[in-house]
Structure 1
Amino acid sequence: MSTTESPLTASDPATDRAAKETLEDYTLRFAPRGYRRWSPAVVATTALGGIAYLADFSIGAGIGLAHGTGNALIAIAVAAVVIFVTGFPLAYYGARYNVDLDLITRGSGFGYYGSVLTSVIFASFTFIFFALEGSIMAQGLELGLGLPLWLGYLVSTLMVIPLVIYGMKALSKLQVWTTPVWLVLMIAPLVHLVVRDPGTVDRFLSYAGTDGDGGVNTASVLLGAGVCLSLIAQIGEQVDYLRFMPPKTPENRRGWWTAVVMAGPGWVVLGALKQAIGVFLAVYILAEVGPDAAPEPIQQFRSAFDAMLPSWVVVPLAVVLVVISQIKINVTNAYSGSLAWTNSFTRVTRHYPGRLVFVLVNLGFALALMEADMFSFLNGILGFYSNCAIAWVVTVATDIGVNKYVLKLSPLRPEFRRGMLHAVNPVGVVAFVAASGISIALYFHALGDTLQPYSPVAAAVIAFVLTPLMAIVTRGRYYLRRPDDGIGEPLLDRDGNPSASVLVCHVCHEHYERPDLAACQTHDAVVCSLCLSTDRAGDHVLPARPTDT
């Protein structure tokens, strides 16, 4: 196949613009080796920097105040185990094959258009949590600067736009430099409280909650775990960074695996710790501020700082912590959300409007939620959302872990290019729709009050059972539309990493690495994945062929 520019197809200006705009962060496509120049440690630090959000403190506090410390801690632990187990295969595939979670989802049971469903789910996750973090920042600005909440919401939204525009290069610098400051501000007051007054630990452990007698019971644990499991989709944001991991080689094997585990599923260890701290701080300040304000991180850290620092520095320092945390996570929310919206829109319309458009769309949704005071009904939103998120992540993780490696009905290497995949794969779509639909019905008491707390369990179990069952029923026929992409050159190198050889797309005339291209149906040349996505006539899309499966 030719590696030079073909004169047979005139370049389309819209396609040229789309290609140039996406080269910076490789929206919709494989992240090439030539761009991935960060070490595993830097990628991991950048990815972990994105979980500096304060929502964990609010989530933990809400669960603890309602159900008591014992139920809250068990719920947090249960959710953390589920998130770690399901997040591991997704993180590995993102880092190994340098694709984001939407691209992984396409080839892991959903099909080229079927994964639009989950892209919308993930995009919703990003603006829900952007709104949550923006609300927390607005609370801090109100306390520290006297800004009205509506203005604080607007400030927290607008301030992330300049950073998000520049993608991974800007985000890596921001996260690396701010993480040490954030860690000190978060941990120091907690250590001081425990050392100064060990009795705070006893009061924390004995807190009974507002809706129980202090004992551990299954319903309370599952209700709390359901709220925590809304964070299961966070692995999508981790993968958005992990796709920039360098190739895995014998020389960097240990560092590579450490980075993938820590920054992939390992994020939940720190997340669970923050949720537990949120319970601790809420119990500590409950008598002082009351149950309505206790879940607010700005109030939690104001009281914690007040116990160890002069009064004149307490509020400014609490505001600094809130602002740093909000910026660190919301640049990630805005960035990942823009990728998800762009993926969905471009596939459905075959038109690429530019990632910046969807940065603004995502921020618009988030601002609307903030102005609607979503913080006051936080646990209800997260409890409902978690059913969809669990169904999606468990379906994809099961397809990778079971259908690929145990049943061997799903291709081992994730495929994402148009023409290589069927439009819809019933394996993932049926499992996801059934799991999310039934669990949402449970959540809204459609099957009785007794079963309502079990909605997250239902989402996970149904997705786990139906995904391999559908693969067996369909005999894996709907994964690949054709077994090869028409290019004779190997897709992987000798270490199993995506090939770094460079070819030229004859439509947009840009250079791309081998995994991002396929042969063109109408010319003796190659075409990149984005040009395939925006090919309205389908002239470049290869025809279907029988697959080996």
Structure 2
Amino acid sequence: MTTESRLTPAPSKPATDQATKETLEDYTLRFAPRSYRRWTPMVVATTALGGIAYMADFSIGAGIALTHGTGNALIAIAVAAAVIFVTGLPLAYYGARYNIDLDLITRGSGFGYYGSVLTSVIFASFTFIFFALEGSIMAQGLELGLGLPLWLGYLVSTLMVIPLVIYGMKALSRLQVWTTPVWLLLMVAPLVYLIAQDPGTVDRFLSYAGTDGEGGVNTAAVLLGAGVCLSLIAQIGEQIDYLRFMPPRTEANKRTWWTAVVMAGPGWVVLGALKQAIGVFLAVYVLSAIGPAAATEPIQQFRGAFDAMMPSWLVVPLAVALVVISQIKINVTNAYSGSLAWTNSFTRVTGHYPGRMIFVLVNLGFALALMEADMFSFLNSILSFYSNCAIAWVVTVATDILVNKYVLKLSPRTPEFRRGMLYAVNPVGVVAFVASSGLSIALYFHLFGDTLQPYSPVAAVVIAFVLTPLMAILTKGKYYLRRTDDGIAEPLLDADGNPSAVTYDCHVCRQPYERPDLTACATHDAIVCSLCLSTDTVGDHVLPATT
């Protein structure tokens, strides 16, 4: 097929103007082209790290410590952070190197074109669960500072992010860059002050034994705590929603590029673990003053900390400001990433693109329902259950990249996400994920006895890590690629291994796209983009399987 014939438009049903306009704003469901990725590595990293300004870490750390004691809580936090970092690194690299989000990575890393719908729903659930958690924390702040009843605070915290999340990466990058310094100052200053003014707070913090009466370090307590922390493993998906906009890696920028990828990819968990440890410290500090029930509320933690270092008239306004800034920073990310996940799943299953804004509202609706149901009061139970599914997904994909691609070489190293190039379902990832999440959930609900219940997160990790390469060996890697040739002579990657910036026009929506987002059309002597393939309900453009 010649270049001229590939560029010749052919008669076909046009894509909707809505789909074209919206997906070109932030490349929803698409490869992010080089022409759009104008940010430096450090701007992308700062934007990505702005998305982890959530206050949930303080509640998570506090909840674990109040039950199991400081020693068990700190070890649990460290164990979870290690798992999250190791599994997050290959995912962050693939997102930044090949400019695709975690759903597109998942498709070609063991799940198949439709198989990854399972994990898209898991990720979407992550976004509205944590939106609800952050919204609850903000509502607590609004109740303390403005006297708003909680139900109204939940509504305010939900509605206020809608104007901010309508736009994509351009708007979010500005918001995150400008608010991050203020957020860091308000978070770190009280901790430094308390330790400097009263070193005895450190001894009380380290000696706190918790309410479970065990005392000392206990394996079951550590694993139960780690299970709660590991619910955050899916955060790497939100980090990659930003990292996919990284510029190409070159000899000139490779050191900065790698620094940004590690810092904003798996490196988010370093700050996350630190926040959880601070949550433990602040909970122990304010415990005697406000009681165990309120000690897990970040607004009360920081109210107590600010009260020790500044005039009383300034305490509540500053605590509320910290909570509001944090909630806005993270919940625009939750709403944005959740809308991408829902839209992606819906478009693949139905062949219709309804618009990302519809799923912003859907995600917010789920979150508001959880808030009104008072999810904050049973936070650890929700996160412990959810973490089993999140762990199974992330470990399966990370194992496919590290082991199946680089060690066994049964999985194609260059990621593939386009319809027609992939099998509908790849048993490698789907079987590993279903078995891992199913068995670990069974453990969590005591179906194998009380003794094994704390080990459900460990089971999720081990089963996914073992089954993923085992399934690849058993299937001989035959279900990864339905085709190896997409009908376009131009290579997918340039000489530096970056996705090619060569553009062609899609003959359906008549827009130019870069090479990785395109395939040849099955029925016309032309080229079609990935979204038009996804919305092709009759399969008119989808290339046949290689015989």
Q: Which amino acid aligns with 2:45?
A: A
Aligned to 1:75: 76
Using the TM superposition, give the Cα deviation of residue 177 of structure 1 relative to its aligned residue in structure 2, in angstroms: 0.3
Q: Is the 8 A contact 1:2 1:524 kept in 2?
A: no
Q: 1:290 Cα shift?
A: 0.5
Instruction: For residue 23 of structure 1, give the secondary structure of its aligned residue in structure 2.
Output: helix
Match of 1:254 in 2: 255
Aligned to 1:429: 430
Q: Is 1:331 aligned with 2:327?
A: no
Return the offset for 1:213.
3.2
Structure 1 partner of 2:10: 8
Counterparts of 1:544 and 1:11 in 2: how far apart (Å)? 23
- In structure 2, do the counterparts of structure 1 residues 404 and 7 end up closer, same or farther at CA, with 3 Å as the change threshold? closer
**Number of the residue aligned with 2:136:** 135
CA drift at 1:2: 4.1
Match of 2:32 in 1: 31
What is the CA–CA distance in structure 2 between the aligned matches of 1:93 and 1:508, rounded to whole Å?
Answer: 28
- Partner in structure 1 of residue 283 of structure 2: 282
**Residue 50 of structure 1 contacts residue 332 of structure 1 at CA under 8 Å; is this kept in 2?**
yes
CA distance in 1, matches of 2:191, 2:21: 48
2:351 is matched with which residue? 350
Q: Which residue of 2 aligns with 1:467?
A: 468
1:87 counterpart = 2:88: yes
Check conservation: 1:24, 1:167, Cα contact below 8 A: yes
- Contact 1:2/1:526 (8 A) holds in 2: no
- Correspondence 1:121 to 2:122: yes
Equivalent runs, 1:300-379 vs 2, <5 Å: 300-379=301-380
Residues of 2 paired with 1:258 and 1:8: CA distance? 45
Quote the offset at 1:11 in angstroms.
4.5
- Could you tell me how far 1:484 is from its partner in structure 2? 1.2
- Does the 8 A contact of 1:5 with 1:509 survive in 2? no
Alignment partner, residue 513 of structure 1: 514
Structure 1 consecutive aligned stretches of length 4 or more whose deviation exceeds 3 Å: 1-7
Output aligned runs, 1:225-236, within 5 Å. Answer: 225-236=226-237
Q: Give CA-to-partner distance per residue, 1:58-85, whole Å, 9 cap, x none.
A: 0000000000000000000000000000
| More off after superposition, 497-506 vs 3-12 | 3-12
Give the 3-state SS of the residue equivalent to 1:518 in structure 2. strand
SS in 2 for 1:512: strand
Distance 2:515 2:20 in 1: 16
Per the TM alignment, residue 20 of structure 1 is displaced from its structure 2 partner at its CA by: 1.7
TM-score (norm 2): 0.99
Q: Aligned-pair RMSD on alpha carbons?
A: 0.8
Give CA-to-partner distance per residue, 1:390-412, whole Å, 9 cap, x none.
00000000000000000000000
Aligned partners of 1:109, 1:273: CA distance in 2, in Å? 33
Distance 2:27 2:3 in 1: 23
Matched, 1:163 2:170: no
Distance (whole Å) between structure 2 residues aligned to residue 54 and residue 81 of structure 1: 21
Return the alpha-carbon distance in structure 2 between the equivalents of residues 495 and 24 of structure 1: 27
Distance 1:10 1:45 in 2: 43
Residue 480 of structure 2 aligns with which residue? 479
1:290-305 to 2 correspondences below 5 Å? 290-305=291-306
Q: Is the 8 A contact 2:9 2:526 kept in 1?
A: no
Other structure's SS at 2:114 match? coil
- 3-state DSSP class of the match of 2:496? coil
Counterpart amino acid of residue 23 in structure 1: L
Q: Residue 71 of structure 1 contacts residue 216 of structure 1 at CA under 8 Å; is this kept in 2?
A: yes
Whether the 8 Å CA contact 2:128–2:334 is kept in 1: the answer is yes
Q: Cα offset for 1:5? A: 5.5
Find the residue that maps to 2:26 and give its secondary structure. Answer: coil
Judge conservation of contact 1:52–1:325 (CA < 8 Å) in 2. Answer: yes
1:17-43 deviations in whole A, cap 9, x for unaligned? 212211011111100000000000000
Distance 2:93 2:12 in 1: 39
Worse-superposed segment, 537-546 or 346-355: 537-546
- DSSP 3-state at the match of 1:503: strand
Contact 2:105/2:416 (8 A) holds in 1: yes
Q: 1:414-446 CA distances to partner (integer Å, 9 max, x unpaired)?
A: 100000000000000000000000000000000
| Residue-by-residue CA offset, 1:93-147 (whole Å, 9 max, x unaligned) | 0000000000000000000000000000000000000000000000000000000
Give the Cα–Cα distance (whole angstroms) in 1 for the partners of residues 444 and 423 of structure 2.
33
- What whole-Å deviation, never above 9, does each CA across 1:300-344 have from its counterpart, x for those lacking one? 000100000000000000000000000000000000000000000
Question: Using the alignment, how far apart are the partners of 2:338 and 2:150 within structure 1?
Answer: 24
Amino acid at match of 1:306: D
Unaligned 5+ runs, structure 2: none
1:214 alignment partner in structure 2: 215
Give the superposition deviation at 1:8.
2.3
Counterpart of 1:499, as a letter, is S
Q: Which residue of 2 aligns with 1:174?
A: 175
Is residue 2–residue 525 contact of structure 1 (8 Å, CA) maintained in 2?
no
**Amino acid corresponding to residue 502 of structure 1 in structure 2:** T
Letter in 2 for 1:158: L
Pairs aligned (count): 545
TM-score by length of structure 1 reads: 0.98
Q: Distance in 2 between matches of 1:498 and 1:540?
A: 23
Shift of 1:206: 0.2
Show the 5 A alignment for 1:257-268: 257-268=258-269
Distance in 2, matches of 1:212 and 1:26, equals 52
Q: Distance in 1 between matches of 2:509 and 2:233?
A: 37
Whether 1:410 and 2:411 are equivalent positions in the alignment is yes
Native 8 Å contact 1:53 1:325 kept in 2: yes
Amino acid at match of 1:111: G
Counterpart-to-counterpart distance in 2, 1:17 and 1:242? 25
Paired residues of 1:206 and 1:214 also in contact (CA < 8 A): no
Specify the SS of the correspondent of 2:451. Answer: coil
Tell me how far 1:7 sits from its aligned partner.
4.0
In the alignment, structure 1 segments of 5+ residues that lack a partner are none
Q: Which residue of 1 aligns with 2:245?
A: 244
